Amino acid sequence: AQSVTQPDIHITVSEGASLELRCNYSYGATPYLFWYVQSPGQGLQLLLKYFSGDTLVQGIKGFEAEFKRSQSSFNLRKPSVHWSDAAEYFCAVGEAAGNKLTFGGGTRVLVKP
Amino acid sequence: ETGVTQSPTHLIKTRGQQVTLRCSSQSGHNTVSWYQQALGQGPQFIFQYYREEENGRGNFPPRFSGLQFPNYSSELNVNALELDDSALYLCASSSVIGSRDTQYFGPGTRLTVL
């Protein structure tokens, strides 16, 4: 069965500093990988996705993620964080021929001024 | 912001009651998935509907049921509500069956069971 682990429950970062959120997945074949962001009281917004090809994926809002098959990881990064990036971030994996996304537990990001 | 809408925004029910949540999918999308997000957790897949037929179900009991209509809008019904059903219920639509296509999420319905 597929699973996703986000080891960091909370991360606090200063505005302007870099951010990296960790995601490890378990899946037997090539996964479809996603990062979503959820602001308080909101639904989920897709930041980026990986299906195949270049392992470094660019997303919206200046985010990028790198797929590393050997480490079963799909970490999310941003070079310089803005106060508006404070939110909860979810990594998810989908089956190639399946129908569901399996989400990690999320990482809450707090941004200090 | 996506074109997926959900109603109502908030709902309070008592244990044992029944509830219906509604979702209007994004224009052109024929697939709808429902997720339950308990407080402090990631969303969990409930089921998916494709062209009015259920296309897969997560680890949820039969008292969770759904419908998809010809216009691809959808309902989630929960019978015999339990306290643990308190959660944010998210609807997501996509234009292609399966997980390859991006799922666009609505804002959710917050259900509180007392």
Please determine, for residue B67, whether its predicted confidence score (pLDDT) is greater than 60.
Answer: yes
Residue B114 DSSP code: -
pLDDT above 90 covers a percentage of chain B that reads 73
Contact A89, A33 (CB under 8 A): no
pLDDT tens for each residue of B1-48: 568 999 999 999 999 999 999 999 988 888 899 999 999 999 999 999
A32/B43 touch (CB, cutoff 8 Å), yes or no: no
* Alpha-carbon separation of residue B44 from A63, A112, B28, B70 (angstroms): 25, 31, 25, 26
pLDDT at residue A15, as a whole number: 97
pLDDT at residue A99, as a whole number: 65
Residue that has been written with the tokens 């009281």 in this structure: A41
Pairwise CA distance, residues A43 & B13, whole Å = 22
pLDDT at residue B1, as a whole number: 55
List chain A residues with pLDDT less than 50. Answer: none
Torsion of CA A82, B91, A74, A59, to 10 degrees: -50
| B99 vs A contacts (CB less than 8 Å) | 32, 94-96, 98-101
Percentages helix, strand, coil for chain B (3-state, rounded to 5) are 5, 50, 45
pLDDT tens for each residue of A6-16: 999 999 999 99
Please determine, for residue B97, whether its predicted confidence score (pLDDT) is greater than 70.
Answer: no
Token readout for A64 is 């990028």
| A95 vs B contacts (CB less than 8 Å) | 98-99
Contact A21, A106 (CB under 8 A): no
Q: Which candidate from B44, B97, B105 shows the least CB-CB separation from A99?
A: B97
Please determine, for residue B99, whether its predicted confidence score (pLDDT) is greater than 90.
Answer: no
